[in-house]
Amino acid sequence: MGKLDNKVAIVTGAGRGIGAAIAAKLAAEGAVVAVTDIDEAAATANAEELGNGAIGIRADVADRDSVNAMVDQVVARFGRVDVLVNNAGWDKAEPFVDSDPATWDRIIQINLYGQLNTCHKVLPIMAERGYGRVVNIGSDSGRVGSSGEAVYAAAKGGVIAFTKTIARELARAGVTANCVSPGPTDTALFASIGGEKLREALTRAIPLKRLGQPSDLANAVAFLVSDEASFITGQTVSVSGGLTMS
């Protein structure tokens, strides 16, 4: 038996990278996963690969109507939402003084408003049933800052504060909310931004001497949404190999 047997989970941004790893881990633990992504083809392909009743749905987290339609589809199909993992995110690395306000808007819409949109729709569903597990993917940039990621760090700092607040507000309804903050993680996105020089520098700086793998994040998320973590709420866990200890 899996730790998440018969649980219905939504994972956003699950078309690739960390989100795909989270969806795969939850499915392996027995959950029925709604794999959502702005790339519908990627979401559908991942859902078919997962099996166990998984479905792929296009959802743009920055668009409230898109989010509402996605959640309505999940509830119509499965009757409830037990687990919500807010993984969808986006960034453009550049010095703040060189950045464009249009880029700020996109970063904040996806990384902060995206999580507000999903939680605003899903939390009442969880509260009505008296059960729910929410994990918001933050970032260590939101805890300690990160050069070239000023607005992203601001959005992720907001995610961390938001997570603590909904944890307080929903505790009596049987809903927990926690934040997982990745450090440098070996994904295609990291490779496209960083290059080999940054990879080598970070590997030297990380006490455990390697980049994170998507599975490292997935394992942390799977624990926090399981009943083993039923007395943990409002917490932020960095999965960074010790790079940040805040």
Q: Which residues touch 204 (CB under 8 Å, ≥6 apart)? A: none
Q: Active site residue: 152, 162, 190, 223, which one?
A: 152
The angle that helices 214-224 and 17-28 make with each other, rounded to 10 degrees, is 50
Number of residues in the chain: 246
Q: Which residues are CB-contacts of 243 (< 8 A; sequence separation ≥ 6)?
A: 140, 183, 184, 202, 205, 206, 207
Tell me, yes or no, if 113 is annotated catalytic: no
| Helix orientation angle between 17-28 and 40-50, rounded to the nearest 10 degrees | 30
Residue numbers annotated as active site: 152
